[in-house]
């Protein structure tokens, strides 16, 4: 039995067809059920549906053998206790800085609103800019509009969320996609099952590229 941790939303929507190609189909409609653990049709896999930021934690502690997580979340989580096995090439986007349209960042210390506290701190440290990081859990785009921050660090896909809030992307910090991560102990104890899953997912990913 394998347990796979995955988050609702963009990653789940993109990952389900890929998992299906690897022979893993949930036994119920994940869009409708309120269950947090859902078995697969073949019965050899359970899916646990959790918050995106919790996926690396579940995998690290062995509550899930395998997880599907955005590179943004993995880098921010910063753990060497799990293996990153595969770039699934899903939920692709960019981690960027963004400002109100036409606005230059002021000289000196700037305020940055983000949920990616470590990533943002590292990025601005490399650029030699002094920053005060303001941790937010959502609606980052609001921060510069209401004067809470000079800029934000957030994921950008089509750019329409920034556009709708009169903001524009500035610097690219990192290209993001979803990765398959594996618990280190599971890798030893369930080697054959995990090897087979990785192989099948690799085939499914290659078919799309």
What is the bridge-based pairing of β-strands 110-114 and 151-156? parallel
- 91 is a site residue for ligand AMP (CB under 6 A): yes
Subset of 97-136 contacting ligand AMP (CB under 6 A): none
| Stretch near ligand AMP under the rule CB under 6 A, chosen from 32-40, 102-110, 149-157, 186-194 | 149-157
Tokens of 120: 């943002």
The strands making up 2-7's β-sheet, listed across from edge to edge, are: 37-39, 45-50, 2-7, 66-70, 178-183, 82-87
Q: Of the two residues 45 and 112, which places its CB atom closer to ligand AMP in the complex?
A: 112
We find the least distance from the C-beta atom of residue 90 to ligand AMP, in angstroms, to be 8
CB 49 within 8 A of CB 38: yes
Q: Of the two residues 15 and 48, which places its CB atom closer to ligand AMP in the complex?
A: 15
- 173 is a site residue for ligand AMP (CB under 6 A): no
Q: Is the dihedral of CA 193, 199, 203, 209 positive or negative?
A: positive
- 55 is a site residue for ligand AMP (CB under 6 A): no
For tokens 């990153």, the residue is 84
- 12 is a site residue for ligand AMP (CB under 6 A): no
> What is the total count of residues that contact ligand AMP (CB under 6 A)?
12
Q: Of the two residues 130 and 160, which places its CB atom closer to ligand AMP in the complex?
A: 160
- 23 is a site residue for ligand AMP (CB under 6 A): no
We find the least distance from the C-beta atom of residue 145 to ligand AMP, in angstroms, to be 14
User: For the CA atoms of 22, 49, 188, 75, what is the dihedral angle to 10 degrees?
Assistant: 100
Report the run of H or E that residue 6 belongs to, with start and end.
strand 2-7
Q: Which residues bind ligand AMP (CB under 6 A)?
A: 10, 70, 91, 93, 154-161
């Amino acid at each position: 039995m394998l347990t796979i941790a995955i988050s609702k939303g963009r990653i789940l929507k993109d990952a389900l067809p890929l998992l299906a190609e690897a022979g893993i189909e949930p036994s119920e409609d994940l869009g409708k059920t309120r269950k947090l653990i859902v078995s697969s049709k073949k019965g050899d896999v359970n899916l646990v549906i959790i918050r995106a930021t919790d996926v690396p934690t579940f995998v690290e502690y062995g509550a899930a053998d395998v997880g599907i997580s955005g590179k943004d979340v993995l880098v921010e989580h910063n753990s060497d206790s799990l293996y990153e096995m595969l770039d699934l090439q899903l939920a692709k986007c960019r981690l960027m800085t963004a400002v109100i349209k036409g606005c230059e960042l002021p000289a000196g210390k700037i305020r940055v609103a983000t949920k990616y506290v470590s990533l943002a701190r590292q990025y601005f440290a490399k650029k030699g800019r002094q920053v005060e990081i303001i941790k937010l859990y959502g609606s980052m785009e609001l921060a510069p509009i209401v004067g809470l921050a000079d800029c934000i660090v957030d994921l950008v896909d089509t750019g329409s969320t920034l556009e709708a809030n009169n903001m524009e992307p500035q610097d690219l910090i990192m290209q993001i996609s979803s990765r398959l991560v594996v618990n280190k102990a599971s890798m030893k104890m369930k080697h054959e099952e995990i090897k087979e899953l990785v192989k099948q997912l690799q085939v499914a990913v290659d078919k799309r590229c």
